[in-house]
């Protein structure tokens, strides 16, 4: 059913505002790649990049503060693929120039890109970076076989589990396979990594 999803992944500036307002700790600052030589999370050059090194718990805390929520896996995939079931957000043919991926980022010493840097790769509903840049935490527990028996309308994932779902691929490991809209990944909800970020959604348009 209908919902409003963030046009971009949550940025460093947005996450810093959340931490300043709530006292939530900023994530560890990564080193190397595009972060090399930067003055921490406050560096002006990073404010429009997606926040990284966040756990699932960090992402859900931000979403609650923002009056939003993490997308379910099904909501995320609908925004990425549409009712046509596109292979990639932009269509069915792989094009490494339409997203941040290993070929144009990690292998060249680059990490994340400012959100919206690949407008040609936008999804059918106007969501940017749903392929590449950072893997995005989803609300669901992960179960490899869940969709064999899941409800066909508004599935919300299994009731319990060990790992949480990540979708979308990233700058350091998502090329043709990982950047597919249907590709599923997962990790411990307490794990953080420099390829992990998130976006939120709302069931109402807000003020």
Whole-number pLDDT of residue 104:
95
Whole-number pLDDT of residue 26:
98
Whole-number pLDDT of residue 129:
98
86 burial level (CB within 10 Å; 0-12, 13-18, 19+): middle
Whole-number pLDDT of residue 207:
62
Nearest 5°: phi and psi at 32? 80, 180
DSSP symbols for 14-83: HHHHHHHHH-PPPPPPP-SGGGTT--STT-GGGTTSBP-S--HHHHHHHHHHTT-BPPPHHHHHHHHHTT
Cβ atoms 197, 136 nearer than 8 A: yes
Name residues of the chain where pLDDT drops below 50: none
Whole-number pLDDT of residue 204:
84
Whole-number pLDDT of residue 175:
82
Cβ atoms 69, 59 nearer than 8 A: no
Tell me the two tokens of residue 109.
């010493």
């Amino acid at each position: 059913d209908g919902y409003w999803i963030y046009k971009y992944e949550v940025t460093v500036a947005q996450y810093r505002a959340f931490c300043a307002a709530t006292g939530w700790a900023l994530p560890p600052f990564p080193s190397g790649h595009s972060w090399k030589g930067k003055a921490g999370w406050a560096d002006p050059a990073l404010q429009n990049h997606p926040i990284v090194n966040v756990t699932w718990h960090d992402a859900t805390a931000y979403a609650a503060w923002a009056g939003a929520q993490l997308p379910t896996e099904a909501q995320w995939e609908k925004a990425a693929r549409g009712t046509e079931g596109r292979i990639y957000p932009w269509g069915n043919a792989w094009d490494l120039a339409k997203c941040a991926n290993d070929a144009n980022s990690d292998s060249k010493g680059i990490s994340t890109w400012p959100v919206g840097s690949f407008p040609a790769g936008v999804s059918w509903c106007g969501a940017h970076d749903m392929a590449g840049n950072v893997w995005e935490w989803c609300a669901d527990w992960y179960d490899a076989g869940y969709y064999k028996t899941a409800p066909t309308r508004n599935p919300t994932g299994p009731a319990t589990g060990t790992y949480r779902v990540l979708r979308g691929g990233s700058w350091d490991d998502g090329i043709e396979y990982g950047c597919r809209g249907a590709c599923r990944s997962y990790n411990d909800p307490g794990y953080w990594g420099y390829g992990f970020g998130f976006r939120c959604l709302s069931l109402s348009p807000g003020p």
